Amino acid sequence: MYEPYPVPELASEHKKFRYSSLWTFAKQDLRLLAFFLLIASLIGFGIGYFWIFIGIAFAVFFLLQLRSLYLVNDWISNRPYDVPPNLNGIWGALLFNVYRAQRQERIVQAEMVGLIDRAQSSLVALAEAVVLIDEMHQIEWWNPAAQQLLGFQELDRGRNILTILRQPSFIEYFNNLNMAPDGLKMKSSVLEDHYVQVKLTRFGGESRLLVAYDVTRMHNLEQMRKDFVDNISHELRTPLTVLSGYIETFTDQEDLNPRWKRAFDQMQAQTRRMNALVNDLLLLSRLENEKKIAKNQIIEMPSLMNQLYDDAHAYNVDYGHTLNLEIDSHCDLIGSDIELASAFSNLITNAIKYTPKGGTVTIGWHDDGEQGCFTVQDTGIGIDPKHLPRLTERFYRVDSARSRQTGGTGLGLAIVKHVLMQHQAYLEIESKENQGSLFKVIFPKERLYRVS
Ligand code: ADP
């Protein structure tokens, strides 16, 4: 593991060294000066020119200091990386300190360069494409995998990333990273029939790190699963229609033996359930395949809400709940009317189904000027919060037996999620066991149409 160089300790060690040694080295100079003065005073005294010899001693000492200064300057200016000249006294101490600091700095530098080299070579070895993009959206660096997966070439250095990866979905994702926290799957522009998952992360302000990897295998498996479900649902449709036709004919016969009648009623209920399942599977698969943005019809919300309210009354006959309708918005919705109506009605039938008889279900439409909110609140059995994150998965049921009993297919909320995704809307669920549930569908401002 890399251990950072102990720079702070080094600095304090330096400080200590400088103060203790400076005096030691200054003493050498003082001793030399004292020696010169002693010799000069002896000679000067002996021959009667005391002050002249004292002056000569100071001059010699001064010349020696000038020589040292010259050598220090010469080393710093011309040969800073060579071993410094061997000097005594205070100049020696100075040279030693400079040389030492310089060496430590070179060690730290070498370690940093080594670390950068190691980080870079590990990025080079990665099978995932890694690309560094600066604040101006220009490509700074990429690894060889990016060359293979995304087709970058040496000439692309410094080019705007959006002029190389030009798919509209990528441009939209690049300009709005929060739109897809898991990244974006897109067709490779280099390898035919290949798909790459691209993930962008912001760092150091506006710079971005792009990581991409090949997800062709996963994509193909997912496509196989979709095709399989699609085909099997289509294949089941005809036999089911034939079966339910015959069963209906038999059930309608008045002289039917009561024992057989019970059996035919059960067969009819089960074929209805299978029909609902097949229809939901086909709808889900259609929604998944049509990843496109939903249509831009203007949906008159007061009329849709009243329609939903009337349908809810029809469904509510066996349950006897109190139904409320609250409209507190002058906004209509922009989207696909059939799909939104089916998503909303899924939420309403769930609220009615999962509320014990005599409860209250309230359907609402509000906006706060920024977002539009369709709500369905019930006083029903509620949901343990641990189930909430998985609730929109297909076939996920909190209580399978109960769901089957109420005729549920386990696909309702999965369909709701897909319809909402096509409208850039999302579902929020607040619920506690035995304390009812609140399902909120939140639409962005762009999906609202203000009625003047
Ligand atoms: P299902 O066809 O089983 O109703 P959904 O996808 O519509 O399938 O719902 C998934 C599960 O979520 C249901 O099985 C049920 O357990 C739970 N659920 C959905 N809506 C409610 C609700 N309003 N109150 C309590 N549980 C609910």
Closest atom of ligand 1 to CA, residue 398: 16
Is the minimum distance from the CB of 381 to ligand 1 under 6 angstroms?
yes
The pLDDT value recorded for residue 27 is 86
The pLDDT value recorded for residue 174 is 92
Residue holding tokens 């060496």? Answer: 103
Say how many Å lie between the CA of residue 4 and the centre of ligand 1.
Answer: 55
Buried b (16+ CB within 10 A) or exposed e, 254-286: eeeeeeeeeebeebbeebeebbebbebbbbbbe
218-289, which class in CATH?
A: mainly alpha
Residue holding tokens 């071993």? Answer: 83
The pLDDT value recorded for residue 120 is 87
Domain boundaries, the chain: 11-115, 126-214, 218-289, 297-450
- The DSSP code sequence of 260-299 is HHHHHHHHHHHHHHHHHHHHHHHHHHHHHH--SPPP-EEE
Residue holding tokens 């530098």? Answer: 109
Which of the residue ranges 119-133, 137-151, 281-295, 380-394 would you say has the lowest mean pLDDT? 281-295
Q: What is the pLDDT of residues 213-257, one digit of tens each?
A: 999 999 999 889 889 988 999 999 999 999 999 998 888 888 888
- Residue 398 · residue 408 · CB < 8 Å: no
The pLDDT value recorded for residue 160 is 94
How far lies 442's CA from each of 40, 239, 364, in Å?
99, 40, 12
Q: What is the pLDDT of residues 163-190, one digit of tens each?
A: 999 889 899 899 888 878 889 999 888 8
- Cα separation, 42 vs 38, whole angstroms: 6
297-450, which class in CATH?
A: alpha beta
What percentage of the chain reaches a pLDDT higher than 70? 94
Q: For domain 126-214, give the CATH superfamily.
A: PAS domain (3.30.450.20)
- Residue 323 · residue 313 · CB < 8 Å: yes
Is the minimum distance from the CB of 437 to ligand 1 under 6 angstroms?
yes
- Cα separation, 211 vs 280, whole angstroms: 36
Say how many Å lie between the CA of residue 90 and the centre of ligand 1.
Answer: 86
A 10 A CB-CB count for 121 gives 10
- Cα separation, 229 vs 273, whole angstroms: 17
pLDDT band (50, 70, 90) for residue 39? very high
Sign of torsion, CA 274 280 283 286?
A: negative
Q: What is the pLDDT of residues 291-314, one digit of tens each?
A: 665 678 899 999 999 999 999 999
Q: Measured in whole angstroms, how far is the alpha carbon of residue 54 from the centre of its chain? A: 81
- The DSSP call for residue 257 is -
The pLDDT value recorded for residue 92 is 83
Q: What is the pLDDT of residues 322-369, one digit of tens each?
A: 999 999 999 999 999 989 999 999 999 999 999 999 999 999 999 998
- Cα separation, 451 vs 94, whole angstroms: 82
Closest atom of ligand 1 to CA, residue 439: 23
- Whether 24 shows a pLDDT value over 60: the answer reads yes
For residue 97, the number of C-alpha atoms closer than 13 Å in the C-beta half-sphere is 18
The closest alpha carbon to 68, from 107, 95, 99, belongs to: 95
163 membership: H or E segment, kind and range: none
- Whether 8 shows a pLDDT value over 50: the answer reads no
Whole-structure pTM value: 0.66
Mutating to test ligand 1, I would choose from 275, 383, 404 the residue with most ligand atoms within 8 A of its C-beta, which is 383
Count of H helices and E strands in the chain?
Answer: 11, 13
Question: How many residues appear in the chain?
Answer: 452
- Cα separation, 251 vs 267, whole angstroms: 10
A 10 A CB-CB count for 310 gives 11
Is the minimum distance from the CB of 403 to ligand 1 under 6 angstroms?
yes
The SS3 assignment for 327 reads: strand
| Longest CA span, the chain | 158
Say how many Å lie between the CA of residue 398 and the centre of ligand 1.
Answer: 7
- Residue 38 · residue 50 · CB < 8 Å: no
Rg of the chain, C-alpha, whole Å: 41
Mutating to test ligand 1, I would choose from 355, 403, 406, 416 the residue with most ligand atoms within 8 A of its C-beta, which is 403
The pLDDT value recorded for residue 240 is 92
Task: Say which amino acid occupies 60.
Answer: V
- Cα separation, 93 vs 14, whole angstroms: 12
Residue holding tokens 């309608």? Answer: 252
Mean predicted confidence (pLDDT) in 144-154: 89
For the chain, the average pLDDT equals 88
- Whether 10 shows a pLDDT value over 70: the answer reads no
Q: Helix 258-289 vs helix 412-422: angle between axes, to the nearest 10 degrees?
A: 30
What percentage of the chain reaches a pLDDT higher than 90? 54
Tokens linked to 351: 């609220």
Is the minimum distance from the CB of 351 to ligand 1 under 6 angstroms?
yes
pLDDT band (50, 70, 90) for residue 100? confident
The pLDDT value recorded for residue 294 is 62
- Cα separation, 67 vs 36, whole angstroms: 17
Is the minimum distance from the CB of 408 to ligand 1 under 6 angstroms?
yes
Mean predicted confidence (pLDDT) in 118-134: 91
The pLDDT value recorded for residue 138 is 94
Mean predicted confidence (pLDDT) in 123-146: 92
Say how many Å lie between the CA of residue 397 and the centre of ligand 1.
Answer: 6
Tokens linked to 306: 């009243």
